[in-house]
Structure 1
Amino acid sequence: MRTQKPSLHIWHITLPTCASLLLLLLMSCGEGVDNSKSGDQTAKQTESATWLLTSDHYDTLSPNPTPLSGGKPSVEELVEAGLKGLNEKDTATLLTMMISREEYDSIIYPELGKYWSGARDMRETITQWQRTNHFGSAEKGLRRLLRDYGGKSFKLAAVEFQDSTQTYPSYTIYQRPIVAAIDDHNKKGQIKNFGSIIEKNGVFKFFSFNDRN
């Protein structure tokens, strides 16, 4: 297993502070300088310090070797298990098919910043807010899924994805699945409440459950 360098966390915490101090220091250096040159110099100094403040500083020690627990070996098997859980109204089993909070913290979040700038801030207060928001929406989506389809029997026909696939250093997210399923009356329909699906090293789990249309 690859050992992460302790200095990475120090970098996350101190980078914005250091950049702010640098900006103040560089701007103060312009005092007493010929005004004809100070304008361009200050602009360049400000641009440099701003780059430091806005540069990517999320976890780049990837790929993360930590595996996903549980899960299924294919998208189809995961969705079939999800349909079975809905038929049995088995909330506990459905929750185990979704990423855990520990997996979100240790595997998912450190790499989300590749596509989503909001996840590049590794401060605990920010990560906690993002985690709470993610799982709050996912659990709301699961309740909606159970309300709409709980107790009903479906046979999987196909799974398609509406949005592009996002590939991260150690995992892949397949977005907005549409599940084509056949009910007991041999009627075919679509279920869109299943959320995105994550795959890591051949293991598939639900990334979330959709709480919106």
Structure 2
Amino acid sequence: MLLRLRIALPDRPGSLGQVTRALGSAGADITQVIVLDRGDGRALDDFTVYWPDAAPREYLVHALESVEGVRIDGIWATREAPGTYPELEILKFLTTAGDRALATLIDSMPVLFSADWAAAATEKLPRSVVYSSWRAPADVPLPDDTPARPTAGTLPSGLHVITAPLPPLALSIMLARAEGPGFHRNEVHRLTRILEIFLMLPAIERGADRAFRKMSAQRL
């Protein structure tokens, strides 16, 4: 299986090599490393590794704890294949998705961000879910207010979320991760850029309008 590891480590020569050796000795096959942050003598990296399905993740924890100065922020499952450009693939699909553009976006977001589920809902009260991905709960924990821009946070339940407005569509979306760390600001920025491009695509507003009408008809 694929795992994502968010690791903070000293930003000095040799530290990354120590981490990769520790992961290799534990049996992990490293396929990708992404630097999220650097500053004040520290670095924050996301590692993607292949890990045997039956092997306990504690082996990874023990191996990393042997490296001085390392902090593990999270270990969680991911479906984002390393070495690919999933944003480009999804945006390509969206250009031809027509009325299903919104549904295609929502279905793709958990994969793009190594998250659990996503949902789109109306902004006006009473709020209603227009579309949700297959792992979304029956009762999506929608916030009372939608932020003016994509914003990350953690709910009292421990669920990590990004909430973002789609003003032209009178919708907001929620992306949720139950396992692993909270969403990093780089992930928030990445989502912001994807949504900006999404809203520029032709027929997006027409497709959302049809979704509203379909939802209203089902209530009657």
Relative to the length of structure 2, the TM-score reads: 0.24
> Which is greater in Rg?
1
Relative to the length of structure 1, the TM-score reads: 0.25
Q: Name which structure has the greater RCO, CA cutoff 8 Å, separation 6+.
A: 1
Q: Whose helix fraction is larger, Structure 1's or Structure 2's?
A: 1
